């Protein structure tokens, strides 16, 4: 993966310039602003990134991803691999060894009991653990000795770094959470709000959805860290106000997730007291083509299911023309600036997984028009193309968000030049991204022709992500409209590749397979039309050193190294 | 009057249960998913499991009954325990927010202080300013003062807070740097210096909110005073040679207060409900912010509980207003 | 005390008299004039200014209004876009015209619903004791209902049929107007009721009742004219509230489709760039304020004209 070169290099310089001689707590107080306020500090009970990132100040996993997507040991001595014998040759188990003499913030030792307990806690059937997918395929977690744990998988796992890896799968203290198993998890308010951890900070006070006060962990494993004695994490407001508080008034040291229009962010940065930082991960803003017919006149058991193929989006020429009409660079310029880049790939990174698919980057409206002409779509008197009485009239929906509405207007404008009529609809995110089977407006139900939103995958391995497009994984009435294959894509050849990928451990072959699958969904079929590889962007004050933006793990992954600079 | 009050209070309980049932039904039928904010990378099976853990597997009437018991039976016990140190509520299930997995009422208690400080203060200031402005505007109708008052209050009312708020922040926090742009809810007042800090962080949101309250109430005050001032009994009072002060402040004011009292009583419950947009803009994180967050996250137990508390206040202040009518105009009878 | 309003109702010269009184009210005439201008402007403006409000002109994005030239001769301006363009190059003037049409319609229709329902409920509750309890509890109920879930529910239930009936935009319009109207009558109802409670014990009403005036006549001739002041105030406030509620709903994504401008939405969308492009908040903001102010003055004039007691005369 690449980093947004100019923006991030500054941060990197500071990082290496500084880590020298500090003393724990010598730099006083640091203030962080999250415009979406954390609701809990237990990632297993969390509702999203905001909670996990806040929790990463306190709770730590065995290993984390660094800004390049490489694995770094945290509580583990080293990252287990097949080469060092930590991962079994048949890929059915992984053995982790804890660093010696690790202590919880309350002074008790960290042992393999705690690691096993964390797995039991999340895998309990009544717990409603939001990170359960991390433990997918785990059969048992065995304690070998006080510092060694072995995770056994039911089947070979080419990517065994699901459990205990990354900010979403940290280690909980058994002593604190042992009465919170299963259905009781939800009742453990005090524990969820103030977990005891091994991280650089401990919770002093937690006010849900408002503000969290932290203090330096007296038992942190590096006696010189963290540099800050106390930390406040304030939540609430909106991204504009958060950017302002760091970049314009300097009231805060760090603002998280600044999804702002590029000109607005650039203007704030011009003040000169702080700077935005960005890093790219796997988030891709894309158009999803509906291969099934969302016509409201259809029976509700047939509508938008594979039994009713779409009247014109099943024509690959139409999908391709719709993609060709889009000027992705202009979209980036208007909506994301340096924090986005045009892409034709569903899997944009890490670099070794990204296909060299760049044909879509140049807009070609004339070519798209020729393509539609050749395919027999003829312009009518009102300028809209038809074929066999079928008008190219599209209902285009997305979630409510300023940038997305501007994109909708632009895309409608381009499609209009193709002779395609477009009706726009925006739906509040809390409904659009929900899975309420009774609502007609969820992205799963897809009662529209084209939809626009972003999706990503955790960690660096795209296997589960690509497996979403399996035949039968589409939302439909018999599955209560649950399912991830929202395009209703179905190709037996693709399914075969999914199976091959899940059994292949050789990395080079995996890269090739992933690229082929990516191409099948994008440039070979235009079922998914990627638009923009979206980076994560945050901002920090110039007086804050050591910040190293990370899009593969929590942004606050190296908070122990943050410090004050002149 | 006393029996009337008692009867109304007695009627209020079934009315409130009915209101809570309607709200519950509305929330139940409205589309939305408490897991909408969970990242898309969490697969559907895990979501189903999480939904189950929130208690969504149970049917709607069971959940409503549980809520009723928790709200009317368990929560009062918790309050009692809190005040008297008793242990009635120990081990009993309280109303739990889906978002934070913690008791809704704890968050309410945590947030009430800043809401009362900011929104309450703004309302009090708004009313205290509005009443004299309304009186004087009516008394000197079409004077320069009246025109200016009309202009400012209508302007204040027609410009939305999502614009005024950022504008004030832009000028006073960013350009001039006089006040902070982010409200610190953990700040405690213990001496003069910290009081000044509190004052500085409160002043902008209070200004925005009191302008709105002022605009509305001063309009009612002016209109009502105007129509009273032209009535015969005022002329009579003047003809009797009563001093002008007494005519205005005793005879006219008292008779013109009825619609104003209604408007004030209508506004008071909204203090508790907080001022959603203003709280978000200034990051006051009071109850308005809690309600908005809960709405956006489809956190039904929180929305249900908060709207219910607001309903209780609405019913209560309605009753108080009715009693006040009787005080202002003894001829109004209810029984 | 006699009822001065009823006494002056000699059936002949009523309307001409009201018109004369109204004409004399300077504020009302100016307010009415401005309101007329705004209404004509948004209704007929696109005949004079035929630019398509949705047409994108990327090369000419972020243009400033012509008047910027007064202090900044380097400003990016052009006669093709006298009031400038937005970040996608859409013409601001054309958007103001079309957006005003929606905003005014939302404001006016919602205000009328609120007035009609609010006044009816208020009068019935104030006048008839057996209706008071149920109607006031209904008012409490609606006051307590959170508007967002209500709007979502209504949208889920009725959007598809309304869209089939009226098309996507008009369908959404009917939906939003109805919801705003039906959730904003309570203040009017409460205030009218309180006035009626106060009025109905006054001598002239008792007198009118004792001579057997029918309830309808009593309401129409005696009660309504005397509650006009607060009704007109809530009408003015209601108009402003409706326009702003609509913008807040659009802002939160519960309102009109994205290619359907309204003043409130234009204002909400521009707030984050208000220091760079102040005209984008000032123009729609001024349009809203001007409308509300002129309606307010118009209301003042109407009240004075309908209320013969307040004919301007020297005090004492």
Number of H helices, E strands in chain C: 14, 0
A264 contact residues in B (CB cutoff 8 A):
none
Name the DSSP class of C199: H
**For residue C198, pLDDT beyond 90:** no
Task: Please tell me the distance from the alpha carbon of residue B49 to that of residue A135, in angstroms, as a whole number.
Answer: 14
Strands A148-153, A93-97: pairing kind: antiparallel
The beta-strand segments (E) located in A366-417 are 378-379, 385-387, 390-391, 393-399
**For residue A468, how far is the Cα from the chain centroid?**
15
- Structural domains in chain C plus CATH codes: 13-46+101-315 (1.10.3720.10)
Burial label, A299 (beta-carbon count in 10 A; 0-12, 13-18, 19+):
exposed
Q: List pLDDT tens digits, range B284-301.
A: 888 888 888 888 888 889
Structure-model confidence comparison of residues C18 and C252, the more confident one: C18
Mean pLDDT of chain A: 88
Please report which confidence band the pLDDT of residue A529 belongs to, taking 50, 70 and 90 as the band edges. Answer: very high
A187 contact residues in B (CB cutoff 8 A):
93
Q: Give the mean pLDDT of B180-198.
A: 87
User: Residues B231, B237, B241, CA angle at the centre, nearest 5°?
Assistant: 145
Cis status, amide bond into A226, omega within 30 of 0: yes
Distance from CA of C230 to the nearest CA of B (A): 6
Q: What residue of B is the nearest CA neighbor of C307? A: B227
Q: Give the mean pLDDT of A441-453.
A: 92
| Residue A176, CA distances (Å) to A85, A118, A128, B102 in order | 33, 11, 19, 17
Contact B318 C268 (CB under 8 A): no
Please report which confidence band the pLDDT of residue C307 belongs to, taking 50, 70 and 90 as the band edges. Answer: low
Q: Does B22 touch chain C (CB under 8 A)?
A: yes
Residue B85 contacts by C-beta under 8 Å, 6 or more apart in sequence?
none
Conformational region of residue A209, where left means phi above 0, alpha means psi within -120 to 50, and beta covers everything else: left
Distance from CA of B31 to the nearest CA of C (A): 6
Q: Does B32 touch chain A (CB under 8 A)?
A: yes
Which residues of C, range 225-244, sit inside 8 Å of B by Cβ? Answer: 226, 228-230, 232-233, 236-237, 240, 243-244
Which residues is A276 bridged to in the sheet?
Answer: A539
Of B328, B122, B86, the C-alpha closest to B214 is B122
Q: Does A399 touch chain C (CB under 8 A)?
A: yes
Name the DSSP class of A350: S
Q: Which chains touch B (3 or more CB pairs under 8 A)?
A: A, C
**For residue A91, pLDDT beyond 70:** yes
- Structural domains in chain B plus CATH codes: 105-328 (1.10.3720.10)
What is the model's pTM? 0.85
Let me know: does B222 contact B134? Beta carbons within 8 Å: yes
Q: List pLDDT tens digits, range B28-73.
A: 888 778 887 788 778 888 888 888 888 787 888 888 998 988 888 8
Q: List pLDDT tens digits, range A137-165.
A: 899 999 999 999 999 999 888 888 889 99
Q: List pLDDT tens digits, range A335-345.
A: 898 889 999 99
Task: Please tell me the distance from the alpha carbon of residue B10 to that of residue A564, in angstroms, as a whole number.
Answer: 62
Please report which confidence band the pLDDT of residue A17 belongs to, taking 50, 70 and 90 as the band edges. Answer: very low
Q: Does B330 touch chain A (CB under 8 A)?
A: no
Residue with tokens 């179905």: A490
Please report which confidence band the pLDDT of residue A493 belongs to, taking 50, 70 and 90 as the band edges. Answer: very high
Q: Give the mean pLDDT of C165-182.
A: 84
Structure-model confidence comparison of residues B63 and A9, the more confident one: B63
State the pLDDT at residue C13.
Answer: 64
Q: Does B137 touch chain C (CB under 8 A)?
A: no
Which residues of C, range 183-222, sit inside 8 Å of B by Cβ? Answer: 186-187, 190-191, 193-195, 197-198, 201-202
State the pLDDT at residue C315.
Answer: 37
Contact C153 B29 (CB under 8 A): yes
Q: Does A427 touch chain C (CB under 8 A)?
A: yes
Q: List pLDDT tens digits, range A258-267.
A: 888 888 899 8
Please report which confidence band the pLDDT of residue A19 belongs to, taking 50, 70 and 90 as the band edges. Answer: very low
Mean pLDDT of chain C: 82
Distance from CA of B128 to the nearest CA of A (A): 30
Residue of B25, B32, B98 to mutate, interface with A, max A Cβ within 10 Å: B32
Structure-model confidence comparison of residues B231 and A58, the more confident one: A58
**Token representation of residue A440:** 């007609």
Of B62, B257, B242, B225, the C-alpha closest to B137 is B225
Q: List pLDDT tens digits, range C130-161.
A: 888 889 889 988 888 887 788 878 877 888 88
Name the DSSP class of A252: -
State the pLDDT at residue C308.
Answer: 58
Task: Please tell me the distance from the alpha carbon of residue C27 to that of residue C300, in angstroms, as a whole number.
Answer: 8
Name the DSSP class of A165: B
Q: Which helix (H) or strand (E) holds A143?
A: strand A138-145
Contact B18 C141 (CB under 8 A): yes
**For residue C44, pLDDT beyond 80:** yes
**For residue A38, pLDDT beyond 50:** yes
SS3 C191: helix
**Token representation of residue C197:** 């409670």
Q: List pLDDT tens digits, range B207-233.
A: 888 888 888 889 889 888 888 887 778
State the pLDDT at residue A115.
Answer: 94
Select from 3.30.930.10, 1.10.3720.10, 3.10.105.10, 3.30.565.10 the CATH code of A282-534. Answer: 3.10.105.10
Q: Give the mean pLDDT of B74-99.
A: 83
Q: Give the mean pLDDT of B83-102.
A: 82
Q: Which helix (H) or strand (E) holds A424?
A: strand A421-427
Number of H helices, E strands in chain B: 15, 0
State the pLDDT at residue C21.
Answer: 79
Query: Which residue ranges make up each domain of chain A?
Result: 282-534
C140 contact residues in B (CB cutoff 8 A):
15, 19, 311, 314-315, 318
Of A288, A281, A253, A277, the C-alpha closest to A486 is A288
Structure-model confidence comparison of residues B1 and A132, the more confident one: A132
Please report which confidence band the pLDDT of residue C5 belongs to, taking 50, 70 and 90 as the band edges. Answer: very low
Conformational region of residue C14, where left means phi above 0, alpha means psi within -120 to 50, and beta covers everything else: alpha
Mean pLDDT of chain B: 85
Q: Give the mean pLDDT of C297-316.
A: 63
CA-CA-CA-CA torsion for B290, B294, B299, B300, nearest 10 degrees?
90
Please report which confidence band the pLDDT of residue A364 belongs to, taking 50, 70 and 90 as the band edges. Answer: very high
Conformational region of residue C132, where left means phi above 0, alpha means psi within -120 to 50, and beta covers everything else: alpha
CA atoms within 13 A on the CB side of C180: 30
Residue with tokens 């009662």: A447
- Please tell me the least confidently modeled range out of A169-183, A520-534, C265-279: C265-279
Task: Please tell me the distance from the alpha carbon of residue B123 to that of residue B213, in angstroms, as a whole number.
Answer: 6
- Give phi and psi for C76, each to the nearest 5: -85, 100
**For residue A14, pLDDT beyond 60:** no
Name the DSSP class of B74: I
**Predicted-assembly ipTM surpassing the 0.85 threshold:** no
User: Which of the residue ranges A13-22, B63-72, C145-154, C228-237 has the most confident prediction, judged by mean pLDDT?
Assistant: B63-72
- Please tell me the least confidently modeled range out of A529-533, B186-190, C132-136, C305-309: C305-309
- Please tell me the least confidently modeled range out of B103-112, C63-72, C134-143, C163-172: C163-172
Q: Does C134 touch chain B (CB under 8 A)?
A: no
State the pLDDT at residue C253.
Answer: 67
Contact A427 C253 (CB under 8 A): yes
Could you tell me the maximum CA-CA distance found in chain B, to the nearest angstrom? 84
Which residues of C, range 38-97, sit inside 8 Å of B by Cβ? Answer: none
């Amino acid at each position: 993966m690449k980093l947004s070169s100019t923006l991030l290099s500054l941060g990197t310089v500071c990082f290496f310039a500084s880590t020298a001689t500090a003393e724990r707590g010598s730099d006083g107080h640091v203030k962080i602003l999250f415009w979406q306020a954390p609701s809990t500090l237990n990632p297993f009970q969390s509702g999203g990134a905001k909670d996990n990132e806040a929790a990463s100040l306190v709770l730590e996993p065995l290993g984390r991803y660094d800004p390049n997507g490489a694995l770094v040991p945290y509580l583990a001595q080293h990252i287990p691999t097949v080469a060092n014998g930590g991962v079994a040759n048949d890929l059915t188990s992984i053995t982790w060894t804890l660093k010696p003499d690790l202590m919880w913030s309350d002074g008790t030792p960290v042992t393999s009991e705690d690691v096993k307990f964390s797995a039991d806690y999340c895998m309990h059937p009544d717990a409603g653990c939001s990170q359960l997918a991390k433990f997918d395929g785990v059969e048992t977690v065995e304690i070998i000795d006080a510092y060694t744990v072995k995770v056994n998988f039911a089947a070979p796992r080419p990517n065994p770094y699901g459990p205990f890896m990354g900010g979403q799968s940290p280690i909980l203290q058994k002593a604190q959470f042992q009465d919170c198993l299963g259905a009781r998890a939800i009742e453990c308010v005090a524990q969820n709000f103030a977990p005891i951890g091994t991280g650089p900070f401990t919770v002093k006070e937690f006010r849900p959805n408002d503000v969290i006060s932290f203090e330096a962990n007296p038992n942190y494993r590096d006696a010189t860290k963290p540099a800050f004695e106390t930390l406040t994490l304030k939540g609430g407001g909106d991204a504009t106000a958060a950017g302002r508080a760091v970049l314009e008034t300097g009231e805060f040291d760090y603002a998280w997730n600044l999804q702002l229009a590029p000109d607005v962010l650039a203007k704030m940065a011009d003040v000169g007291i702080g700077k935005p930082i960005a890093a790219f991960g796997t988030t891709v803003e894309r158009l999803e083509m509906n291969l099934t017919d969302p016509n409201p006149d259809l029976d509700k058991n047939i509508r938008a299911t594979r039994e009713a193929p779409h009247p014109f989006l099943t024509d690959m020429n139409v999908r391709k023309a719709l993609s060709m009409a889009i000027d992705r660079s202009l979209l980036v310029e208007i909506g994301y600036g340096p924090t986005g880049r045009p892409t034709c790939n569903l899997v944009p990174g890490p670099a070794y997984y990204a296909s060299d698919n760049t044909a879509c980057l140049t807009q070609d409206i004339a070519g798209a028009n020729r393509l539609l002409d050749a395919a027999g779509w003829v312009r009518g008197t009102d300028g809209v193309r038809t074929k066999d009485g079928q008008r190219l009239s599209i209902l285009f929906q997305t979630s409510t968000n300023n940038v997305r509405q501007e994109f909708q207007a632009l895309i409608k404008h381009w499609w209009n030049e193709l002779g395609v009529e477009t009706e726009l609809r925006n739906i509040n995110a809390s409904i659009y991204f929900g899975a309420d089977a009774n609502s007609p407006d969820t992205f799963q139900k897809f009662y529209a022709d084209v939809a626009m939103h972003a999706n990503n995958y955790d960690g660096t391995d795209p296997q589960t992500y690509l497996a979403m497009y399996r035949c039968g994984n589409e939302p439909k009435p018999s599955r209560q409209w649950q399912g991830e294959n929202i395009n209703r894509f179905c190709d037996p050849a693709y399914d075969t590749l999914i199976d091959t990928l899940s059994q292949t451990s050789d990395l080079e072959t995996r890269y090739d397979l992933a690229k082929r699958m990516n191409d099948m969904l994008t440039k070979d079929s235009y079922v998914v039309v990627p638009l923009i590889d979206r980076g994560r962007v945050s901002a920090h004050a110039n007086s804050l050193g050591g910040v190293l933006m990370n899009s593969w793990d929590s942004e606050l992954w190296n908070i122990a190294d943050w410090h004050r600079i002149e | 009057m006393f029996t009337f009050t008692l009867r109304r209070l007695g009627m209020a309980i079934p009315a409130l249960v009915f209101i809570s049932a309607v709200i519950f039904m509305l929330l139940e039928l409205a589309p939305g998913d408490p897991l909408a904010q969970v990242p898309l990378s969490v697969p559907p099976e895990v979501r189903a499991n999480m939904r189950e853990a929130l208690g969504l597997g149970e049917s709607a009437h069971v959940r409503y009954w549980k809520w009723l018991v928790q709200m009317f039976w368990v929560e009062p016990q918790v309050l009692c325990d809190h005040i008297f140190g008793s242990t009635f509520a120990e081990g009993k299930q309280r109303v739990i927010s889906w978002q934070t997995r913690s008791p809704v009422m704890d968050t309410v208690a945590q947030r009430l202080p800043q809401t009362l400080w900011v929104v309450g203060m703004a309302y009090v200031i708004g009313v205290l300013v509005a009443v004299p402005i309304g009186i004087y505007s009516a008394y000197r109708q079409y004077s320069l003062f009246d025109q200016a008052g009309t202009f400012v209050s209508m302007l204040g009312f027609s410009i939305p807070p999502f614009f005024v708020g950022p504008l004030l922040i832009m000028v006073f926090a960013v350009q001039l740097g006089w006040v902070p742009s982010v409200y610190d809810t953990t700040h405690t007042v213990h001496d003069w210096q910290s009081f000044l800090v509190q004052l500085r962080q409160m002043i902008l949101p209070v200004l925005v909110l009191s302008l709105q309250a002022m605009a509305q109430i001063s309009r009612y005050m002016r209109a009502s005073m105007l129509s009273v001032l032209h009535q015969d009994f005022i002329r009579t009072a003047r003809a009797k040679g009563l001093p002008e002060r007494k005519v205005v402040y005793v005879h006219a004011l008292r008779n013109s207060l009825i619609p104003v009292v209604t408007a004030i009583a209508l506004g008071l419950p909204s203090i508790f409900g907080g001022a959603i947009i203003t709280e978000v803009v200034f990051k006051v994180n009071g109850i308005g912010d809690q309600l908005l967050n809960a709405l956006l996250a489809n956190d039904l137990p929180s929305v249900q509980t908060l709207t219910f508390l607001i309903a209780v206040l609405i019913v209560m202040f309605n009753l108080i207003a009715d009693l006040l009518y009787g005080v202002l105009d003894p001829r109004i009878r209810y029984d | 005390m006699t009822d001065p309003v009823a006494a002056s109702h000699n059936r002949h010269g009523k309307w001409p008299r009201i018109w004369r009184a109204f004409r004399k009210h300077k504020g009302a005439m100016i307010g009415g004039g401005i309101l007329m201008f705004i209404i004509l402007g948004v209704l007929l403006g696109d005949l004079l200014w035929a630019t398509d409000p949705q047409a994108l002109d990327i090369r000419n994005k972020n243009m400033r209004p012509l008047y910027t030239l007064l202090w900044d001769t380097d400003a990016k301006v052009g006669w093709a876009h006298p009031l400038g363009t937005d970040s996608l190059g859409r013409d601001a003037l054309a958007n103001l015209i079309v957006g005003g049409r929606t905003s005014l319609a939302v404001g006016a229709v919602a205000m009328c619903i609120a007035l009609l329902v609010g006044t009816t409920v208020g009068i019935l509750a104030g006048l008839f004791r057996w209706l008071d309890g149920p109607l006031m509890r209904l008012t409490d109920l609606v006051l307590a209902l959170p508007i967002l879930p209500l709007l979502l529910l209504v949208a889920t239930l009725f959007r598809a049929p309304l869209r089939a009936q009226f098309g996507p935009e008009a369908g959404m319009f009917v939906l939003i107007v109805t919801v705003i109207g039906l959730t904003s009558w309570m203040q009017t109802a409460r205030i009218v009721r309180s006035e009626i409670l106060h009025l109905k014990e006054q001598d002239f009403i008792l007198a009118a009742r004792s001579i057997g005036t029918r309830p309808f006549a009593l309401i129409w001739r005696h009660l309504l004219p005397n509650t006009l002041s607060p009704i007109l105030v809530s009408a003015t406030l209601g108009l402003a509230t409706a326009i702003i509620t609509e913008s807040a709903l659009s802002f939160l994504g519960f309102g009109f489709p994205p290619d359907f401008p309204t003043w409130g939405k234009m204002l909400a969308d521009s707030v984050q760039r208000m220091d760079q492009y102040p005209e984008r908040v000032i123009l729609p903001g001024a349009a809203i304020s001007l409308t509300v102010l002129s309606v307010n003055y118009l209301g003042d004039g109407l009240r004075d004209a309908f209320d013969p007691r307040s004919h301007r005369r020297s005090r004492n």
